[in-house]
Structure 1
Amino acid sequence: MEYVVIARATSPRGELVLRERRSERGPTSLELRVNGIFVMDTVETDTEQTLATAGLAAVSNPQKVLVGGLGLGFTMHAVLGDSRVQRCRVVEIEEALVDWLRAGTVPHGPQFLADERVEVVVGDVAQVLTETPASLYDVILLDVDNGPDQLVHEQNAGLYEEPFLRVARRALRDGGALVIWSAAESRTLLDGLAAEFDTAEGNAYEVLLQGRDEHYWLYLARVASPE
């Protein structure tokens, strides 16, 4: 296996590296690492797509969707595959990552971002949602870090705690849903969601990651629809 760095950037949160993974046994792929930690690649994208599918299936008419975390664009792309979606706002704190997709450093980036329903905001998703009018979104999808127990950035701990979950609920319409991806089971997160939302559940799902079986978790919380 050969790795070639395609792009590198630093920010107040550390180092982002986009590298190409080359193998004689398979196709060339891209891999994103943050502070030396593997985040995602272009081979196994089921995680990002499952996050989108779960959120879209949880509501009756997902017209407006917010995605926290651009990554390599696959959650956003899956959201846009649903014709019911009229607007998809993506919040990404790392400007370099947005630039890499826009410029084609991530080859599929320009195509993914060309959809007129997309709005990309460079910023902190917690701040963006705090400033969001009440009852704006039908679905909020969060894949910003690895979950409350395997954080890449310690400052993201607040995204899994009740004050932020309360802000997310306020931004959702009646009947709306919040879905949070986590690398591991978290009873604390589930309890926090149950305290702020009308219903909450956590579901494990299997994924094959770089040749090994993994279990990841999706936490789904709903705002009840009026009778």
Structure 2
Amino acid sequence: MPLHADAETPVTLDRREGPYGEIVLRQRGEHHEIIANGCFLMDTSDGRSERLLVDAASETLTANGKHPSALLIGGLGVGFSLAHAAADPRWRRITVVEREQAVIDWHRTGPLARISGEALGDPRCVILHTDLLTHLRESADHYDALCLDIDNGPDWTVTDDNENLYSPDGLAACQARLTPGGVLAVWSAQPSPAFEDALRNAGFTGVRTEEIRLARGVPDVVHLAVSPA
């Protein structure tokens, strides 16, 4: 969720109070950005890390001899991950879990439709308005990859309750939704050795962290782990 917007004064387009606090859509120059409870999440100026999150998962699947088919994206954000996944015909089913109705509205009828509009019309793609951990615990669906981008990383969550996703119970819920050999990919603004240890302790294999080089600033990273076959 890196910040790459220019220094122009932002204009607030929508501000809502939801069950998890305040969520704001702002425009800064030609770009849009999402702010949650005063914390910058992401903007539309550079979707490289969101696209590479999906690529890292599909490449790991392919390297392990597994065909990418069913994908869950945790967090709709500004839509780069969804649009990128929908452009790949190998993904036959794409589910996006987003807990903020405001974010969904900004994509369906607002300015973020310019990024996700085509994907939203794709019959392979479904958006679920629910909490990610609730879906992981209650759904019977299985996925070849979980691409999670709901926080600034395991050590920098947007809300305190999001910490549960990275706990042993949360990682067990992730593993339960993955097919054998499936991939968990988690975006982060910085490496987290403690999270790597948590993934191994949860029974994941092939745990590693890949850097995402950006035009400026420190690299983002993707934490990758494979569900036992």
Normalised TM-score (structure 1): 0.90
Task: Measure how far apart 1:114 and its partner are.
Answer: 1.0
Residue 184 of structure 1 pairs with residue 190 of structure 2: yes
Residue 76 of structure 1 pairs with residue 58 of structure 2: no
Which one of 130, 148, 153 corresponds to residue 142 of structure 1? 148
Identity %: 34
CA distance in structure 1 between the partners assigned to 2:106 and 2:199 by the alignment: 34
Task: Please show how residues 82-121 of structure 1 align to structure 2 within 5 Å.
Answer: 82-108=88-114, 109-121=116-128
Which one of 139, 143, 160 corresponds to residue 132 of structure 1? 139
CA distance in structure 1 between the partners assigned to 2:84 and 2:24 by the alignment: 24
- The answer to whether the 8 Å contact 1:104/1:110 transfers is no
Task: Please show how residues 198-217 of structure 1 align to structure 2 within 5 Å.
Answer: 198-208=205-215, 212-217=216-221
Residue 153 of structure 1 pairs with residue 143 of structure 2: no
- CA RMSD, 1 decimal: 1.5
CA distance in structure 1 between the partners assigned to 2:81 and 2:39 by the alignment: 20
CA distance in structure 1 between the partners assigned to 2:147 and 2:112 by the alignment: 22
Amino acid paired to 1:110: G
What is aligned with 1:219? 223
- The answer to whether the 8 Å contact 2:180/2:227 transfers is yes
Amino acid paired to 1:103: T
- DSSP-derived class of the 1:44 partner: coil
What is aligned with 2:58? 56
- The answer to whether the 8 Å contact 1:68/1:92 transfers is yes
Task: Measure how far apart 1:214 and its partner are.
Answer: 2.1
- The answer to whether the 8 Å contact 2:33/2:42 transfers is yes
Task: Measure how far apart 1:57 and its partner are.
Answer: 1.1
Q: Where does structure 1 lack aligned partners over 5 or more consecutive residues?
A: 23-27
CA distance in structure 2 between the partners assigned to 1:206 and 1:18 by the alignment: 26
Task: Measure how far apart 1:213 and its partner are.
Answer: 1.2
Normalised TM-score (structure 2): 0.89
Residue 193 of structure 1 pairs with residue 199 of structure 2: yes
What is aligned with 2:3? none
Task: Please show how residues 161-176 of structure 1 align to structure 2 within 5 Å.
Answer: 161-176=167-182
Task: Measure how far apart 1:16 and its partner are.
Answer: 1.2
Which runs of 4 or more aligned residues in structure 1 lie more than 4 Å from their structure 2 counterparts after TM superposition? Answer: none
CA distance in structure 1 between the partners assigned to 2:113 and 2:26 by the alignment: 12
Deviation readout 1:57-85 (Å, 9 max, x if unpaired) = 11121111001100011111111121111
Amino acid paired to 1:123: T
What is aligned with 1:13? 20
CA distance in structure 1 between the partners assigned to 2:83 and 2:11 by the alignment: 26
Task: Measure how far apart 1:182 and its partner are.
Answer: 1.2
Q: Higher strand share goes to which structure?
A: 1
- The answer to whether the 8 Å contact 2:83/2:118 transfers is no
Task: Measure how far apart 1:118 and its partner are.
Answer: 0.6
CA distance in structure 2 between the partners assigned to 1:207 and 1:154 by the alignment: 28
Task: Measure how far apart 1:2 and its partner are.
Answer: 2.9
CA distance in structure 2 between the partners assigned to 1:114 and 1:48 by the alignment: 20
Amino acid paired to 2:143: Y
- The answer to whether the 8 Å contact 2:52/2:212 transfers is no
Deviation readout 1:19-50 (Å, 9 max, x if unpaired) = 1112xxxxx11111112222111111111111
- DSSP-derived class of the 2:200 partner: helix
CA distance in structure 2 between the partners assigned to 1:148 and 1:103 by the alignment: 31
The total of aligned residue pairs comes to 216
- The answer to whether the 8 Å contact 2:50/2:80 transfers is yes
